[in-house]
């Protein structure tokens, strides 16, 4: 696809979906980091049913670092892969506190140093929290559908 075709497609999508927003519920940058981690191999709907309890329990990044791993696993269990996700959430919180003075970093290079955060997750965080469109986060469904789209 040529750049001009891509611009046409993006403009059509913006016109068709002017109110498009992130489907994950969050109030703070770190809540989005956690929600994005939980969304791996899980639906956003399930994540949004799970995070209210978690975010009520963990109000600060320090709370995420300090929560008992067993308690965290129990809360996030419905999202699947809960043992690995719990380990990454706690480690990520500690990394943000120790390496970034308690602030979610706002560059790709810094974000991907965090446990449980890859390029796709970093792209979502950059766009939704900081308004930085460095890349596009594409899940398997969007990729499949995009292969069917043709500019007319």
Separation between Cα atoms, residue 91 and residue 84, nearest integer Å: 11
**Angstrom distance (rounded) from CA 130 to CA 29:** 9
- Spot the catalytic one: 2, 90, 139, 143: 139
- What is the DSSP secondary-structure string of 40-84? TTS-HHHHHHHHHHHHHH--SHHHHHHS-HHHHHHHHGGGS-HHH
Is the alpha carbon torsion for 128, 124, 19, 61 positive or negative?
Answer: negative
Considering 3, 87, 120, 143, which one is annotated as catalytic?
A: 120
Instruction: Please confirm, yes or no, whether 63 is among the known catalytic residues.
Output: no
User: For this structure, is 85 an active site residue?
Assistant: no
**Distances in Å between the alpha carbon of 134 and those of 2, 24, 33, 82?**
19, 19, 17, 29
Burial of 51 (0-12, 13-18, 19+ CB in 10 A): buried
- Please list the active-site residues: 120, 139
């Amino acid at each position: 696809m040529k750049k001009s075709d891509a611009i046409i497609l993006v403009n059509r999508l913006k016109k068709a979906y002017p109110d498009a927003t992130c489907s994950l519920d969050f109030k703070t940058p770190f809540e989005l980091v956690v929600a994005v981690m939980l969304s791996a191999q899980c639906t956003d709907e399930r994540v949004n049913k799970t995070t209210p309890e978690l975010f009520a329990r963990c109000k600060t990044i320090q709370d995420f670092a300090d929560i008992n791993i067993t308690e965290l696993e129990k809360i996030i269990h419905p999202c699947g892969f809960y043992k690995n996700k719990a380990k990454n959430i706690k480690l990520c919180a500690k990394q943000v506190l120790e390496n970034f003075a308690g602030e979610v970093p706002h560059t790709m290079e810094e974000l991907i140093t965090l446990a449980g955060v890859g390029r796709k997750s970093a792209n979502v965080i950059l766009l939704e929290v900081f308004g930085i469109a460095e890349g596009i986060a594409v899940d398997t469904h969007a990729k499949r559908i995009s292969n069917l789209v043709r500019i007319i």
